[in-house]
Every structure is written in C-alpha cells, then in structure tokens.
Amino acid sequence: MSGHSKWANIQHRKGRQDAKRSNLWTKLVREIIVAARMGGGEPESNSRLRLALIKARAGNVPKDTIQNAILKGTGQLEGVSYEEVRYEGYGIGGAALIIDCTTDNRVRTVADVRHLLSKNGGNLGTEGSVSFQFKHIGDFYFAPGVVTEDQAMEVALEAGADDVISDPDDGSIEVTCAPEMFDAVSKAFEAAGLQPEVAEITWKPLNETHLEGDDAAKMQRLIDALEELDDVQQVYTSAEYDLPEE
C-alpha cells in the first residue's frame, strides 16, 4: 500500500462504515436477537451476545432497545424471526467477498445482494467459491503506542492466542486467535487493563488483492452499496487499497 499505513486504513474504513450506515442500529439489534436466540440471554455465558452488546453500546443503542432485542431472541417477546445466511462472490479485479446477512426472507436478500453485485461490477458465486481464501479468526488491534509487543504477548499467549504481530511501519499491534478462544483472550486483555481498538471475530484473507485508482473507488462503492442493505451484517473482502481523504 502507499499513502496510508495498515492501521490508518483500518481506522478510516471503520469510521466510514459507522458514518455511512444509517441503518447501523438495525444491524446491531439484529445481531443481539440472533446471538440471544443461539446462546441464551445471559452475556456472561454467551460470548457472542456479550460482543454484540459491547458494539451496541458503542453505537449508542438505547438500553430499552437492547433489552427488548434480548427478550425477542430468547422468545420472551414476540418479534421477527431472523436467520443467518452467507453469500460468497467477487468484486472488482476478482477480489473475493464474503457477505454475512441476517434475514427474515432469503429470497429477497439473495435478490438484493445479486442485484447490487451485478450493478457495481461484481458477481455472486456459489457456496465455498471464495471462503477457502479466508481464515476465520478472532482479531484484536491495538492503536500505536497503547501497548508494547511484549505486553500484548505476555497476556495474549497465556490466554490462548495464536499470534502477536507488530506493524513495523506504524507500531500498531495485532493479536489473532482461534474463534473459540476469542472470549478467553478478550477477558484476559480486560483483566490486564488493556483495551484494543478493534476486537472482533472476522474472516481474514489469506492473500490480498491490491487495487488502485478507479478500481479501488469502484470496490469501495460496491462495499458501500452492500453495507447499506439492512439485511447485510458484515462484508469481508480480500481487496486492499488506500482510501482517499474526505
């Protein structure tokens, strides 16, 4: 990449997503409902729900809305029944896409996703067509200067993390772990008073597809369009590119 460090791009994209998602609350609430339905309404014993609640509070979702979402998920309140569905496809330059959705209507969702991909230069693939290009991991990022590599390593590896990576260009620290170890590593950081800027279970590309210029702009427009869909929870991509300053 040129212009921005890896950390700068992570921050820029995160801020762009938060600013552009007028439907952010909808996505956060749906995740709470699904998490509570799958693992119960107690965050202490449901790591997915606990992470969903952290994100909802960071997104300023009202307490009553959060509580009602938990009750809907556990069946104590009536509500729409959502299911999870994953689509795979290709974007600009053959960049791989994994598109995670929650929906009450699969037919509508796949039609919307297919239409946006086609309209913006991508195409929908079959199940398994690109997922082999990604690794499912727990991922933590610490901003530059927040923690040293030795500090992160001491806590993370003891808790079951797989790797601690220091970026030589900007000094940010990335910690990765197996998805099932995410909760243990998260709690270990909390107990040590270490606060990651990003903490999530994600699909990380094994190899990146570098885009520049018009191709980068087109790819960003495609991702923006997908993220504007209420049914789309998260978009993962192998595309790597600098974002222009706004």
Q: Is residue 225 over pLDDT 90?
A: yes
Return the closest-CA partner of residue 101 out of 154, 23, 187. Answer: 23
Q: Which residue has the tokens 């946006």?
A: 116
CB 194 within 8 A of CB 155: yes
13-51 exposure pattern, b = at least 16 Cβ within 10 A, e = fewer: eeebeeeebeebeebbbbbbbbbbbebebebeebbbbbb
Indicate the pTM of the whole model.
Answer: 0.85
What's the rounded Cα separation, in Å, for the pair 158 and 12?
31
- Chain segment 17-56, per-residue pLDDT in tens: 565 555 888 999 999 999 999 999 999 889 899 999 998 9
Mean pLDDT of the chain: 90
